[in-house]
Amino acid sequence: MAKNKKSKNGIDSYSAGSVVMDVVMLILGFVFLINTIAGKGDQVAAIFVRAIGGILIAVGLISLITFFIKKEKELFDWVIVIFGTAIGVFGIVVVIRPEPIINILNWIMGLIIIVYAIVIIFTSIGFLRPAGANYWGFSVIFGLIALGLGFLIIFCNLATKAMMIMIGVTLVLGAIGGIANAILAVQAKKAARKVIKAAGLEPAKETEETEEQKDDKSDSGDEATKF
């Protein structure tokens, strides 16, 4: 019983809404792949790096706005605004001169892919498997492939075109694993509900709630008779 409760809590903590991130990764992978094959890999890399710079600028602006809105400022607030401003300035430099960042794009994308793959693997093993999801190993396989390719992207000295193609393929594979996780999570939730219903736990819960409501009513009745 405790194990089923733990599994149910675990699967509930995994939100199927994360499929949005998986779809973004899938689209990004196809963008890298298709445009690199079409000979526009450098342009895609520049756009991607400038997008990162725009995010950094937004972070810097948010930190500044938050700092000036707050009336009472502490040392921590000064540290945050200085750090945020530095990030924003760095974002401006990245937008204006993306070339140096493009040269280390393999490190940036490799790290993103590695973290993404680890999340997929741990979600599959830690949440889906205990919850009784079928084919959870499918996501693990795609996660392991993405993890291996992520390290390959970082440490192998590939030509720019080959690297961009590999990044695209890896993002697509990782996204497939993530989308599979979301589908399996929904499947596991439905299976958990069937098990709970078959075990007759839902009526028991309703009975407990009814008894609690009766106790509340009796208590309120006793209080009313006091007046």
The residues of the chain scoring below 70 in pLDDT are 1-18, 157-159, 191-192, 194-227
Instruction: Supply the range of the domain harboring residue 49.
Output: 7-198
Number of domains in the chain: 1
**Domain membership flag for residue 227:** no
Give the pLDDT score at 191.
66
| Domain assignment present for 141 | yes
Helix runs in 124-200, H state only:
136-155, 160-198
Are the beta carbons of 25 and 56 closer than 8 angstroms? Answer: no
Query: Does a structural domain hold residue 204?
Result: no
Q: How far is CA 35 from the centre of its chain?
A: 26
In a domain, 1, yes or no: no
Residue 157 lies in a domain: yes
**Is 183 part of a structural domain of the chain?**
yes
* Residue-level pLDDT at 159: 67
SS3 71: coil
Is residue 114 domain-resident?
Answer: yes
Between CA 152 and CA 117 the distance in angstroms is 13
| Residue entry with tokens 């993405």 | 146
What's the rounded Cα separation, in Å, for the pair 163 and 175?
Answer: 18
Domain assignment present for residue 211? The answer is no
